[in-house]
A and B are shown apart, each in its own frame.
Chain A
Amino acid sequence: MSVSTVTKDQFKAFVSALVGSDQKVVGVQAKGDKFAFGELIDADDLRLDYDVTILPPKKYMLPQKETLLQFEVGGAAQTVEKGVRKVLLGVHPYDMVAINQMDELFSQGEYDTHYMNRRKNTTIVACDVVTPSENVFASSMNTATCDKGFDILLTDIGDSYVVDAPTDKGQALVAMMDGAAEATDADLDKRKAVQEKNIADLNKHELECKPSYLPKLLEKAYEHPVWEEKARLCYSCGSCNQVCPTCYCFDVQDEVEWDLKSGCRYRAWDGCLLENFATVAGDHNFRKKRADRFRHRLYRKGKYVPSKIGGQIACVGCGRCVSACTAHIANPVDVYNTILETTELS
């Protein structure tokens, strides 16, 4: 399938048409002095030049709170199926990589119908980064660009976007873009330049090893003093978990309606930094110490999850946790580099 080019005006006309279609359209918009994914009402509000969104787009596949089933108290439980088709506009490559990882995690082993149904109903229009955020380190994590998962990848080359549409869903959208023409060699060269620049520049924090070394590095770091040193300052607020595109832990709870007759089972985001995350009946907490919880997050990103997804590191370098952490301790690069300084790599 060929790659096309559309002017920004033509693209805006396309977004306007899309907003008026039967699909829900979600796009990146300004929110105060930051940016957020939200339902797009007006094509003028779409900001593909954003640096980073407050929350990653995972909330459209794994909502903060989601009903898993409804029940009558003392009666049968019913599965709730909601199939809303939607288009996500403006997913950055690092977030695309995170979604690809989640797709693998939620479909492997026991197939999670709720996540996967939402994912299948979602068309993703990704875009290469135009403005690097203050804490991005995607270059260090090899996620400054992406090569799969999206239905369309847009690259801003000045007055136009280069439009790569490798899927049928993407091609269907391109068909709606009046004025889309086959990309010229010059356009493709410009796209290449943008991507090469991002590969070099999205690196406000530099990991001093290849990410693929992390699982091995962490094999020797379980007792490293860095966990205690950093966690001394941790408020256990869970902000690092909540803003992370690869954190997907959740809790399953039941809720009864006011009539005490019907209710629902839902799941809601949870976070391994929160104090009671690993507490079981009888108040046994298997990760009572802050340092244990702090270590768990960085082991999960650098070792545990990678072992389930073919070695891919479950930190995509978006830098959101670095910005969200009020104690300035969440930066994975800081922690991994500290361990690197004192640990021999073979």
Chain B
Amino acid sequence: MVKNPYQPINAHIVDVIDESSTIKSFVVKPDEPIPFKTGQFVELTLPGEGEAPFTPSSSPNQSDQMEITIMKAGRVTSLLHDCKKGQPVGIRGPYGNGYPVDTFTGKEVYIVGGGVGLAPIRSLLLTLIDRIKDFKRVVCRFGARTPEDFIYKDTLFGQWQKIGGLEIKLTVDKSNGQWDGNVGVVTTILKSDDVDIQNAVAVVCGPPIMMKFASMDLVEKGFKSEDIYLSMEKNMSCGIGKCGHCMLGKYYVCKDGPVFTLNQIKEYPDIWD
């Protein structure tokens, strides 16, 4: 018999990590492993309340459990924020295409992220770090509203700063007085970067407005639109390319995405609204 595509795999929350005032990471252990590619997403069920799509923020190499970073933004995410260790949940997926990491080999990977957009980027970054020598270099340009709003602070300010081949620069919209880094939106730290454009790819994930301006700046820097990868999160309701909610132009974000090149979607002027 063909499997019911809406049937989730039972899972439970084994740890909850406070990332910022509005963002938590949940470590979720499914009853059976759910292998995924970095950048793919899953539908996380809170039984009785509903489900919502999230891209895991953990490395795909860790298959027995996954981390999902969630900003309190709507009904289901608010309820998830109230969940404690041991909470039963469900996971179905993975869905979508993920980042084409293999095609990044030998290149400069230029990553621009903002806010909770760092969640899919963390998974990508962990994947890249595992084989960091395969890439010419990996450049991260991340922004947050205030220093407190950065997520993954431990690794972001600690371990990741020491990895050879990985260059991280951070900026905040507003300093808290103790911040000695850049102040300004993330696009303000892109201009001065020297990138070997012909041999580079860009990855952007963050709030729509940030993705819009970051994409424009990257094009201005000389990136070809087919080398700019965007994570287009939409209201993926069924996850299997039927229900129509996540349509972006002719694409189903859940099937054809969630990772698109700017070239694929630039003809739709309302993608950032």
Interface residues of A (CB under 8 A from B): 68-69, 71-77, 79, 105-106, 109-114, 116, 222-223, 248-254, 256, 260, 263, 265, 267, 270, 272, 277-289, 292, 296, 299-300, 303-304, 307
Contact = CB atoms under 8 A, between A and B. Distances in A.
B242 A105 contact: yes
A248 B240 CA distance: 13
B238 to A, nearest CB: 6
B50 A270 contact: no
A300 B247 contact: yes
Of B49, B88, B235, which is in contact with the most chain A CB atoms at under 10 Å from its CB? Answer: B235
A77 B7 contact: yes
Chain B interface size, as a band, is 35 or more
Contact of A280 (B48, B234, B238, B242): B234
B73 A112 contact: no
Given A248-B244, A267-B238, A279-B235, 17 more contacts: A69-B4, A71-B48, A75-B47, A109-B240, A111-B5, A112-B240, A113-B4, A251-B245, A252-B50, A252-B238, A254-B45, A270-B244, A270-B245, A281-B71, A281-B76, A281-B77, A292-B270
A114 B242 CA distance: 12
B182 interface: no
Contacts of B61: none
6 contacts: A77-B8, A112-B240, A270-B245, A281-B76, A288-B273, A304-B249
Contacts of B208: 284
B273 A285 contact: yes
Contact of B3 (A113, A252, A265): A113
A333 B92 CA distance: 41
Contacts, number: 132
A251 B6 contact: no
B114 to A, nearest CB: 14
A69 to B, nearest CB: 6
Contacts of B77: 281
Given A278-B234, A280-B233, A287-B270, A254 B48 contact: yes
B113 to A, nearest CB: 17
A69 B92 CA distance: 13
B50 A253 contact: yes
A69 B241 contact: no
Nearest to B240: A110
B20 interface: no
Contacts of B243: 249-252, 267, 270
A219 to B, nearest CB: 9
A71 B4 contact: no
B14 to A, nearest CB: 15
B10 A304 contact: no
B6 A265 contact: yes
B222 to A, nearest CB: 27
B250 interface: yes
